[in-house]
Structure formats: C-alpha cells, structure tokens
Structure 1
Amino acid sequence: MDSSLPSGISQAWAALGADSSLLDRVSYGGSSGGLPARLPVMELARATVAVCSLAAAELTSVRTRRPVPRVRVDDEAVATAFLSDRLVRVDGQAWSTFSPLSRFWRATDGWVRTHANYPHHRARLLAALGVPEDIGGNEADAVGRAIARLPALEVEERVYAAGGLAVAARSPEDWAASEQGVMVAGQPLLTMARIDEAPERMPGGGALPCAGLRVLDLTRVLAGPVATRTLALLGADVLRIDAPQLPESQEAHNDTGMGKRSTTLDLTAAADRKLFDELLETADVVVTGYRPGALERFGLTPEALAERRPGLVIAQLSAWGRYGPWHERRGFDSLVQVVTGIAELEGSPDSPGVLPAQALDHGTGYLLAAGVLRALTEQHRTGGTRLVRLALTQTAHWLVHGLTSVPGVDEGFDAEHRLTETDSPMGRLRHALSPVSYEGGPVNWARPPGLWGTDAPVWNGA
C-alpha cells in the first residue's frame, strides 16, 4: 500500500470487510484546500470516495475476471463533489440549500438548530412554537422570539412532538454521555451481514460494474441520493420512488438525480402498491433512507424483502441509528452536526459553527454506495441476501473520534476544473463530475436528471 495513504481509507475498507491487500491499488493526489475545517473533513471525504472507487474497481474485476483496476483519488474532484449541492446551476441560476427557517437560534440557555426546508416541516415548526402560518414577512422574527423565551431542550422536545425538526446544541461531552451517544459509540462505522443462503444470481458481466442491475431508490436528501447517483454512474438502472404527497425540491434533484429516473407511488393505494411489487420482483438492490419504522409498516423489513426476493442487496440509511431512544426520530446532516458536538468544535465562544460541506451526508452516501458494491461482490462469490446499514451519527463519531488530519500543502482549490455542463429538461445544467474513479471507469453519467417524479414506474427496457 502507498505509505502516504491516509489511515481513514484503511479504516473504512476494513469496516467494509474487504481484502486489505487491494489497498495497494489506491493512490491519491491533487489540491487539498477545498474543505477547510478544524475536524478532518478532507480526510473523511478522501477516504469515503477512495473506498467507493476501490469497491467499484473490485466488482469490475469480479464481473470481468480481470485484475482489479487501479484507483486514483483526486482531492480537487473530491472537494468539488462534496460541495455539489451548492455548485449546481440551471441556466446560470443557483439555489439556496437552506430555507430562512433552517438555521441557528438563541434559546434562553443555549442554541437551537431547526430544519424547515420542506413545507410540512415548516408548518410543524410554526405550530409547535405557536406562530401563525400566515404571519407573512415577520415569520423569522416570530420564530426567533418564540425560541428566545424557551430553554433549548424544551424547543427540541416541542418541535419533535409536533413532527418537526429542531435540536438543542450539545457539547461533544454531553452527547457522549447521553444514552444515544453511548450507543452510537459502541457501533462500528457500518454493518454488513448475510441474512440467508440465497444462491448467487448476478447477471452476466458488462463494461461497468453495475451494468444490468436494477436499483429501487427509496431515499431522500442527501446521503441516500448521493449513493444511488453513484450506482447510476456505475451502470445501474436506478429508479427513485417517492410518495406523491411528500414534496421534493427539483433543485436538489438537479444535483442528486444524475443518471436516474424518478417516479411517484403511493404505497397505501392498491394500484400503486401492485406496481411497486412488480418492480420489486426483478430488483437487484433496494436502498432506503427513511427513518426506521416509516417503510416497515408497508412490510418492507429486510426479512420480508429477502423472503419475497431472495438474493437482494438491501441498504438502509438512518440519521440517528436503528437503536436507542432516538432511533425513530427524523434527522438531517445539519442537525446531527449540532447534536454530536461538531457545531461546538467548529464554532466560537459566540456562536456554533458548521462543516464546510454537508460532509456527513456526502461521506455516508459514498460509504453506502461502497457497501452496496462490496455486498454485490460477496454475493457474486458466495450468494446470499445481503444487508448493509449506516447512520449519519456513526459517520459523525468516526469524524470526531476515528480520523486524523493528514499533513499536506494547501495548493488552493478551483472547483471549475471538476464541473461540466449538459442540456437537461430543466435547462442548461452545470454540475460536479463524480469523484468516484478507477482505471477504465466512467467519467460522467449516461443521462442528466429529469423532472422529479415524472418518469413511468417501469424498468428500462421493460
């Protein structure tokens, strides 16, 4: 292995249960000044992209029966990709990744962070704080006044009880001492398991590692869509499915919908459920990113999926983990940063701080894709339905406690080198190229994103 290879790559590759000798295939370089932070964010970004690239190279080797291609991780490409949601443009127009009500607020005894990007989360936040929805331009002021009168933990509990999203800022020590924090610290970075003895049934090899594979994408911003966007780059037929009653941002889809198709199905409606079941009958991978319990009520547990479609790869992502008192809570990267103490570590005595990118989302997304790719490799060798699980809090714990920064020279950072443009149904789309790269691998997606939710609920060629 390259003696200068960051240790984070070794840690993540070991968590994936992979052959450590393959790390010899990895090298890295490029300008590393794109994600400045006190915590080792660049190391997390580099490591997660590296193991995803190596997992893709390994699967390519298994399917083509050729040597594992070499992987070159470029720091400039990695940093650009971790900022992809902020760099995407349509006809030159940018979009705001956070709404005016998604921010930090002063409470009586500390700080609160809210998330209200979606209309239903905004409505629940306002209801929990007693702020009328039709208050107009004074909405943010009213929310600020309401929070300023309450202790931070009371705001958190009120808003969560109403189905909204707000968290009290905690120190790393407070989080580590909490019941959920203790349980997170006892978990590995990710888990991979074989849950039955189904025979191997991967389709014949192709030029790309995921060629011929069908992926049901049941995820929402941001980590899950990053993972499935990567599987689409590698040749999978990815069909994203959302509930029609849950709105999605077209602007977010412009970034994470690369290479995919998108449709809506209401799983509570008999006709739509039948369409979903027909898709599942020939799926190879199912990726879920909803909070635990949200999809289980539809009978979509790993055990039920394995019984209906033996040999699946099932990948599950959550914010807080599928255990402990917080396991059913909604969550996003920005909130996990605040609860786990990252905001304090990146902040100042006067105010909390943030990471330079949604690094927990992006990093977990590449780890999730790597987990799927490694599960496919192991399934090709020995069969079995495979289960991969990750959580944003586990990635956060790794960032704070498991990684160290690698010294290097800051040579500057120019994202323009890693951006490209293409025509799309929305207009001229500028987007980041994928940082996942190996010798002979794809450079760009086969298709741009489309209008969210407008594709037919069928597989390509069906």
Structure 2
Amino acid sequence: MPVQSASWSVPAKAREYLVKLCQDQRLSLPETIKHRALERVKYVGSDKPFIPISWQFGEAVSALHGLEAAFALALKEERYGQVEDPSKQLETVTIDTDHASLFIISVFISQIKGKPVMHPDNLVAARKYDLADSILNLYRHLCTNIYRTKDDRYYHLHGSMDASPSQDVVGVPHFSDEKDPDKIKKVYADAVAKFDAEELDRLAAMDAKQAGTICFTHQEFLESEAGKAIKDCPIYELSKLGPGQPVPWPRSNSKDSFRPLEGLKVVELTRVIAAPAIGRKLAEYGAQVIRITCDRLPDYGALLVDLGLGKLQANLDLKTEEGKLALRKLLDDADVFLDGYRPGAIEKLGFGPKDFEEMGAKRGKGYVVLRENCFGWHGPWKHRSGWQQISDCFVGISWGFGQRMGVNEPVVPVFPNSDFCVGTIGATGVLHALQRRAQEGGTYLVNVSLSYYNVWLASLGMYPEEVWVQLWSDYERFQFKHSDEMRKTLSTLIPKMFENRPDLKAREDVWMQTKSEPWGGTVTHLRPVCRFSDRSMYFDVPPRPNGFDPPKW
C-alpha cells in the first residue's frame, strides 16, 4: 500500500493557499489585510487529512478562514485599538485545521439533548417546515439525485423544497407508497433515461425554472459558455454602488466590547445553508442578525439548529404591502442586507442593489448588500437557481471525485463543502465592504457564488495520488456511484470519520453547548473556528425556530 507523502501537511497547505489568496489582485485586498493574514494568522492541526474526499476540502476551508480572520482582526483593531506597549505581542488568530474541517459538516454533527439533529426524535420539530413534503418524504426527496440520460450523459435533477415541478418535467407521479430507495430511484432513472441531457436541461432548468444541471467534467465546464463567463472570477466580487460619507463604527453599550461587528445590524433573507452560514458568521463577530422568512414558504427545518445560532427569527410576507413596509422599517436601522434567494426574486419586490443605493443616499448612510447564488453573476446561467450539489456537478467537482474513486461517472462529494465555504467567503466580503464603508463611505455590493468557490477549489487540484490512496484506505476504499444520494453517502462516511478520529468528539476547544428551550434543551455545536489570542468569539442568541421573534430590533 502506498504511504502518505511525508511532505504533505494540511496546516502548511492551508497557509500556502492563504498566501495565494493574498496575492490575488482581483480581490483588491488592502496591504494591512495581507500583512495581518501573513504575519498574524497561525495554523495548527494534524498533518494528515481526514475528510474522505479527493479534493482538498480541509485545506481550502482553513485557508478561507485565514482571510476572514485577517479582516476580523483589522476591524477589531480599527474599532478598539491595538496593543501600543512594545513589550506586549500583537494579537494573533489561530486556526486549527481539524476544527475548520468539521465546519463544513456542522449542520449534520450538531446535537439536541445529546442526539444528532437528524435523529428521528429531533426531526419531529423539523417536519412542520416541510410544507411540500419533499425533504423527509423519501420518494419525493429522491427526485434530487444524479440520473443517466438517453444519450449516456448524466443529469442532476433537483426537487428543491417542492419536488412536484421537477417530477412533472420527467413525468413521474408526485407521490408513491414505495419505501425501497432502489425501487424509487429506478422510477426516476427510467423517466430521465427518456431524455437527452440538453433537452432535459432546457425543460427542467430553463422552462420550468428548477435547479438542475448536466454533470460536466471540469474541462467541459471551462469550455462551456456558462463556464467561460465565470472561470476568471475571484472568490467574491466587491463593487461600490454609490458615494456617501464615511460611516463611523457604532458605540457599544457593553463595557466588555471586543467583537468587530458589535452594534451593527444585519437583515438576512435566506434559506438552506450557504447564505444562512454568512449570517451565522456575522453573528459570531457580534452583529445583531434578524433572519426574515415567511410561514407560507417551506424550509429545511433540521438545518435551523446550527445555522440559527446568533439570530433572531421573524416572519414577514413580502408579497404584501404590510410585509414590505415592515422590512423597510427594519432596514432603516440596518447596515447589511443578505439575499440568498433565486437571482432577481428579492429585487422584484423592491429590494435590489439599486434600491439600496437610493435608500442609502436618502438616509445619508450606505449599506452593504450581499447576494449569493449558484451559477455566478455573469453569463447565460446567472439567473438560474441551484444548490451545492448543482454547482459541484456544473464545475466538474463531482466528476473529479467519481473518477478518483475509480468509477467513470460523477458522484456528488458527500459534504456541503461549497455551501459552508461560501459562508466564510461571504462573511469575508462583508467585512471588507464594511471596512471600506467606514473609511470612504458609500453603498457596496458583494457578489458570492457556489461556483466561484468551486472554480477556486478546482484550481488547487486534488490530493496527490499517494495522499489520496492513504486517506481512501482509512475509509476501506469506499466506492460510490452516481445514484448514491447524499443521505446514503453521509450516513456511511460521517460515523467512519469519527471512528478514525475519536479525539475530535471530546475536544472542549472544538465543541460548546448552548441552552435553547425553543429547540427542546441543550444544543451541542461547534465553537467559532477562528481563535483570537485575547478572547474567543461567541453567539449572543441561542437558536430558535422560524417566526419565533417579532420583526423588530
């Protein structure tokens, strides 16, 4: 059996990729940020990777946390000052790459009263959000999967949170009493096999406006019109929408202020993982975050325990004038607005970038507006909706993973890595924009995308063969196929991961507990990844269900 390369080290690679981020001129990073990243962000952790994916998930998420930490450190010092005494060392930030690697699966490893959030006892509360019965109903859930097309290509069909439109496209019944997952998948496989890939993409993604994509190799992605439009984009795009006066940092009422975003207010219109992870990050740094949902829209309830940390949760119906008025009242005092819905959906309701430019000019205080999507903000597919799996298949991440396992077909690489990495990227972009707003004024737009991240991940390459073979061997050289959906792959690999690394379960520096009566007791979740040398960041608000709070600060 080949041995692991003696020169491979996850912390060392994370630092190498952080250096590359600092050298990326497209990000227009201030020199002070580069200096903090390179001189005051430290990496520790196990040299050997333990996330069983051929792409460098642990190294990538750790590098991104390094850039996030540099901005957080800068804003912290701009607000509260830094050590002036030359006898004292400047504050540093430490990132444990083992801890950071767990961040990409935090929604699946959080617990309520000692049981995983996905335990049947805990899913009872989540059922009320599954309004279209498409998440917990196995038959409708398996509409979301990769299936082979008539022309021997592969298509990732997606049922989102209401499978019916995608089921209509391929011509299968909305409901079935069948419980056998293999028999259910055959229903969808037989239906998809009647279509050529290009035809199915037109019907599902273009005409029916459902999430979905042909599964491309990375080279096919680079050669596609949609790929060419975004292949040279940075991990986030930051632009100034309009002028304005510099915005001073708010005064905090707390005598123990030290978090960089204390006193700032964030309005979050998001669902699922990527965009909510951005709000969770901003709450960690002290921002007051209120997430707005609507009780007539379905949601992924099991995710709320982890991604609701630090947030107020309120309901508003933005299809009504009363709802829009209430949102505008919240925005009067807000600093940041997060939009994670289908591109253009929130803008049509009167809350697009130009609207914020006008509102910022009118009140004399600019906003930071962040938009998150799947396919990027350029090219023919910028308007399409999508999920983590869709971006993974679009950019070629899934094909690369499948080929590395020895199967000549695409396999979604198990963990919601692109979702959580976009959470870190989005928080970094917001910190960057807030710094500019404080220094020069104006309203700013931050664009992030699952596919921007995946393009960057692909640029790092997969593990060298000897590193991958050793890692793969630790998991008994599992071999998934295109039809193995995430429920199966997650339930196979997560228990094995903790079996291989039992130390990760017991580390008090990695885990913390929060009382959450709305969720039925004590919630166990990951601590913030970035560890500042003076004090750790934390969450002010325990997780709570949608609509728990009134829509006010």
Q: Please give the TM-score of this superposition, normalised by the length of structure 2.
A: 0.77
Structure 2 matches for 1:32-431, cutoff 5 A? Answer: 32-67=48-83, 69-91=91-113, 92-95=115-118, 99-108=141-150, 109-118=152-161, 120=162, 122-137=163-178, 139-160=184-205, 161-201=207-247, 202-204=249-251, 206-309=257-360, 310-348=365-403, 349-402=407-460, 413=501, 414-416=503-505, 417=507, 418-424=510-516, 425-427=518-520, 428-431=522-525
Q: Any idea what the Cα deviations from partners look like across 1:287-337, whole Å, max 9, x if unmatched?
A: 111232111112222222022123111112111112211011011111111
> Is the 1:306–1:312 Cα contact (8 Å) retained in structure 2?
yes
Using the TM superposition, give the Cα deviation of residue 5 of structure 1 relative to its aligned residue in structure 2, in angstroms: 6.1
Q: 2: CA distance between counterparts of 1:6 and 1:288?
A: 31
Which residue number in structure 1 is paired with residue 30 of structure 2? 18
> Is the 2:272–2:300 Cα contact (8 Å) retained in structure 1?
no
The one-letter amino acid of 1:222's match is I
> Is the 1:346–1:352 Cα contact (8 Å) retained in structure 2?
yes
129-138 vs 410-419, greater mean Cα deviation? 410-419
The one-letter amino acid of 1:246's match is L
Q: Any idea what the Cα deviations from partners look like across 1:338-389, whole Å, max 9, x if unmatched?
A: 1111111110334322335211111111011011112212222222222211
Q: How many residues align?
A: 456
Q: 1:55 to 1:324 in 2, by over 3 A?
A: same
230-239 vs 292-301, greater mean Cα deviation? 292-301
> Is the 1:44–1:399 Cα contact (8 Å) retained in structure 2?
yes
The one-letter amino acid of 1:89's match is Q
Q: 1:419 to 1:114 in 2, by over 3 A?
A: farther
Q: Any idea what the Cα deviations from partners look like across 1:269-300, whole Å, max 9, x if unmatched?
A: 11111101100111011111123211111222
Using the TM superposition, give the Cα deviation of residue 451 of structure 1 relative to its aligned residue in structure 2, in angstroms: 1.1
> Is the 2:95–2:529 Cα contact (8 Å) retained in structure 1?
yes
Q: 1: CA distance between counterparts of 2:513 and 2:451?
A: 34
Using the TM superposition, give the Cα deviation of residue 71 of structure 1 relative to its aligned residue in structure 2, in angstroms: 1.0
> Is the 1:312–1:386 Cα contact (8 Å) retained in structure 2?
yes
The one-letter amino acid of 1:114's match is L
Q: 1: CA distance between counterparts of 2:145 and 2:14?
A: 37
Structure 1: 5+ residue runs without aligned partners?
none
Q: 1:90 to 1:72 in 2, by over 3 A?
A: same
In percent, how many aligned pairs have the same letter? Answer: 25
Secondary structure at the aligned position of 1:95 is classed as coil
> Is the 1:194–1:386 Cα contact (8 Å) retained in structure 2?
yes
Using the TM superposition, give the Cα deviation of residue 158 of structure 1 relative to its aligned residue in structure 2, in angstroms: 2.0
Q: 1: CA distance between counterparts of 2:512 and 2:28?
A: 32
Using the TM superposition, give the Cα deviation of residue 177 of structure 1 relative to its aligned residue in structure 2, in angstroms: 0.7
> Is the 1:190–1:391 Cα contact (8 Å) retained in structure 2?
yes
Using the TM superposition, give the Cα deviation of residue 154 of structure 1 relative to its aligned residue in structure 2, in angstroms: 2.5
Q: 1:33 to 1:176 in 2, by over 3 A?
A: same
> Is the 2:13–2:59 Cα contact (8 Å) retained in structure 1?
no
> Is the 1:54–1:438 Cα contact (8 Å) retained in structure 2?
no
Q: 2: CA distance between counterparts of 1:203 and 1:272?
A: 28
Secondary structure at the aligned position of 1:347 is classed as helix
Using the TM superposition, give the Cα deviation of residue 6 of structure 1 relative to its aligned residue in structure 2, in angstroms: 2.3
Q: 1: CA distance between counterparts of 2:333 and 2:327?
A: 11
> Is the 1:36–1:356 Cα contact (8 Å) retained in structure 2?
no
Q: How well do the aligned residues superpose, as a CA RMSD in angstroms?
A: 2.5
> Is the 2:57–2:101 Cα contact (8 Å) retained in structure 1?
no
Q: Please give the TM-score of this superposition, normalised by the length of structure 1.
A: 0.92
Using the TM superposition, give the Cα deviation of residue 125 of structure 1 relative to its aligned residue in structure 2, in angstroms: 1.3
Which residue number in structure 2 is paired with residue 457 of structure 1? 551
The one-letter amino acid of 1:420's match is M
By relative contact order (CA 8 Å, sep 6+), the higher-ranking structure is 1
> Is the 1:127–1:162 Cα contact (8 Å) retained in structure 2?
no
Q: 1:224 to 1:3 in 2, by over 3 A?
A: closer
95-104 vs 336-345, greater mean Cα deviation? 95-104
> Is the 1:216–1:239 Cα contact (8 Å) retained in structure 2?
yes
